[in-house]
Amino acid sequence: MRSVPSPVLISSAVLGGYVVGRRTGDRALAGVALLAGLGAALPRWTRSSPLLAAALGAGTVGLVGLSHPLAHRVGPWPAVLGTTAAASVLAGVGDALARRGAGGS
């Protein structure tokens, strides 16, 4: 069975975190949803490079943080969708780098 690609995990985590936070009003619970997706993606990046995993994790969390002030300018859904797309691209780059670091396997 093939594993779920990291961009799918990360985009699901960011969107899921937003929906959970919006529905419950609990940002901590939204953070749990985000961490669940990161927790699923980080091990594959860590196998390649712990530094890569740390950078990608920090980048994803940073993008989620960026969505908050961005939401005041463009609205919540455009901010979340834009940062979700950026986080998904970041995860795709992470997967590509991890594959390259693992000898292309």
Q: What does the pLDDT look like over 6-26, one tens digit per residue?
A: 999 999 999 999 999 999 999
Extract long-range pairs of 60-68: CB within 8 Å, 24+ residues apart. Answer: 60/10, 60/14, 60/34, 60/87, 60/90, 60/91, 61/34, 63/14, 63/87, 63/90, 64/14, 64/17, 64/34, 67/18
Indicate the pTM of the whole model.
Answer: 0.86
Q: State the sign of the Cα–Cα–Cα–Cα dihedral 47, 48, 50, 54.
A: negative
Q: What does the pLDDT look like over 48-61, one tens digit per residue?
A: 889 988 999 999 99
